[in-house]
A and B are shown apart, each in its own frame.
Chain A
Amino acid sequence: MVLENQDNRNLWEKIGDYFSANSIWMKWYCTGCGAIELPPTMTSRFDMERLGMGPMATPRQADVMLITGYLSTKTLRRVIYSYEQMQDPKYIVAFGSCTINGGVYYDSYATINQLDKYIPVDLYIAGCMPRPEAVMNAFADLISMIKKGQANGWRHYQENYEWYKKNQLDSLEEVIIHDEFHE
């Protein structure tokens, strides 16, 4: 599905998007192996805070969720769970080829193949794994997308909620998280 791009924001939304673009808090959730390139991106060498980005502890506080690589079904349940806890506007950046078509895990029984069937992805970063430069570049792109009002994945998710839910249930059977230790 292509995310619509027309710009019909009013002035207040434009101002709001200016603030959203320049202050992006990412959720502190390492979903996959791409997370190993996040510490260099965050710390002194590449310094993500230059762009106004910083890690935040909980989903409620965060604006952007980084899906750092492959997602096993077990993680996808948590990802959906915590994505729905985030407050609008919220964005998703997907790392690496695993989120696009499964990558090297195309025939794995545990990982999903195409992420945007389950949650709306605003931006993909190619590569396995994306270098910190690529990650920074993607963040710069995300900022300009938000400024132009093109990062509308969260709206898309609200409007097509049934479609996403159906896909989620098809692959996961249930999104509810039980007591995982089975006691």
Chain B
Amino acid sequence: MTVMNFVYGFIILLAAFIFQTTITGFNRKVTARIQKRYGPRWYQQFLDIFKALRKSSITHGWIFDFGVIMALGGIMATVIFIPVAGFEAFPNMDNVYIISYLLAIGMLGMAMSAAGSGNPWASIGVSRALTNMLAYDIPLMIVIFTLIFAFDTASVSEIAAMQQGMGILGWNAIRMPLGGIVAFIALFGMLGKKPFDSFIAPAEIASGPMVEYGGKHLGFMFILHELMTFIEVSLILNLFFGGGSSILVYAIKYAILYTLVNIISQVMPRYKIDQAVKFFYRVPLVFAIIQGLVVIFLGWGVSVWF
């Protein structure tokens, strides 16, 4: 581990933020076009974030402040471990377990901070967010364990590399179609896109965990959200959609995947939280289990089909 590792890590962090924020801005435009309107400028998301950072803030006690910093720290640490098209800041440390544990620090920091604000809407939002996490995590984790079992490695970059060189047929989403479907659906839940956005539903709980954030806290939350989106989309992209052979391919695939999720979510209403849990524990969980059994007992999809 040299200084260069940390420089690379910093570069990934910065690039991830700029790239994802641009994609978000672009997707706000896509959303607008679906809704038959012109839409904001493509860099609107940057303006929003810097505007929020410029405003004054109020604190609701040290847990409130500390939670935001802890969440941001946890998420930034996670971004550094994400392999992007073979480019890794800390080689051989991009383990799925590390990523999911560090991600949980971010989540918990957010939950802690929101609960620390003392607003009942925030508490309801946090409990919904954690319920939602529990809902999508179980099917997704079963599928990811299946992958780990099939390839004998938990390294994200190695799993991504194994899918290279065979075109679209090499993707795990094609090799293990049920698992791919589960991962794609779980991505909606991870990103908090409709129909699984009941934890930030404005019309129900006044934007849930975000309810007491204003000014700089809100700006940090926005940055956090962009980075978290980067982690989640990258994870699914690397594990199921073949990663990328070069940075450019990776970026294009990433943009397509995220835009696809966004477009679908724009014509979806939202589930109630209990309906979301029921949904995840019905179809995706069954798919995930079937996929796991198929891989373990039949071995289909471990090697390339054709």
A–B touch (CB < 8 A): the answer is yes
User: Which A residues form the contact surface with B (CB < 8 A)?
Assistant: 16, 19-20, 22-23, 25, 28, 43-45, 47, 49-50, 52, 56-61, 63, 86-89
Instruction: Mark each residue of chain B from 34 to 60: 1 if its CB lies under 8 Å from any CB of chain A, else 0.
Output: 011111110010011011001111100
Bound-complex Cα distance A20 to B51 (A): 5
Known: A44-B35, A60-B212, A61-B218. 5 other contacts (CB 8 A): A50-B40, A58-B211, A58-B212, A60-B214, A86-B214
Instruction: Assess the A87–B57 pair: CB atoms within 8 A.
Output: yes
Q: Are B214 and A87 in contact (CB under 8 A)?
A: yes
Cβ contacts under 8 Å, B202 to chain A: 28, 57
Q: Which residues of B contact A45 (CB under 8 A)?
A: 37
Nearest neighbor of B50 in chain A, beta-carbon distance: A19
Query: CB distance B58 to A87 under 8 Å?
Result: yes
30 contacts between A and B (CB under 8 A): A19-B50, A19-B51, A20-B54, A22-B41, A22-B47, A23-B47, A25-B48, A43-B35, A44-B35, A44-B36, A49-B32, A49-B37, A49-B38, A52-B41, A52-B47, A57-B206, A57-B207, A58-B206, A58-B207, A58-B212, A60-B212, A60-B213, A60-B214, A60-B218, A61-B207, A61-B210, A86-B214, A88-B55, A88-B56, A89-B55
Task: List chain A residues, Cβ under 8 A from B58.
Answer: 60, 87
Q: Check: B177 CB closer than 8 A to any chain A CB.
A: no
Taking CB atoms, residues of chain A closer than 8 Å to B47 are 19, 22-23, 52
B contact face: mostly helix, strand, loop, or mixed: loop
- Nearest B residue to A49 via CB reads B40
Give the distance in Å from the alpha carbon of A25 to the alpha carbon of B207 in the complex.
Answer: 14
B215 contacts the other chain (CB 8 A): yes
Question: In the assembly, what is the distance between CA of A63 and CA of B28, in Å?
Answer: 20
Chain B contacts with A in 4-55, Cβ cutoff 8 A:
28, 32, 35-41, 44, 47-48, 50-51, 54-55
- A88→B216 CA distance, assembly (Å): 11
**A61 in contact with B54 (CB, 8 Å):** no
Q: Are A47 and B32 in contact (CB under 8 A)?
A: yes
Task: Give 9 closest A-B pairs by Cβ, nearest first.
Answer: A60-B214, A57-B207, A47-B37, A19-B51, A23-B51, A16-B54, A87-B214, A87-B215, A23-B47
Across the interface, do B55 and A87 meet the contact criterion of CB distance under 8 Å? Answer: yes
CB-CB nearest in chain A for B215: A87
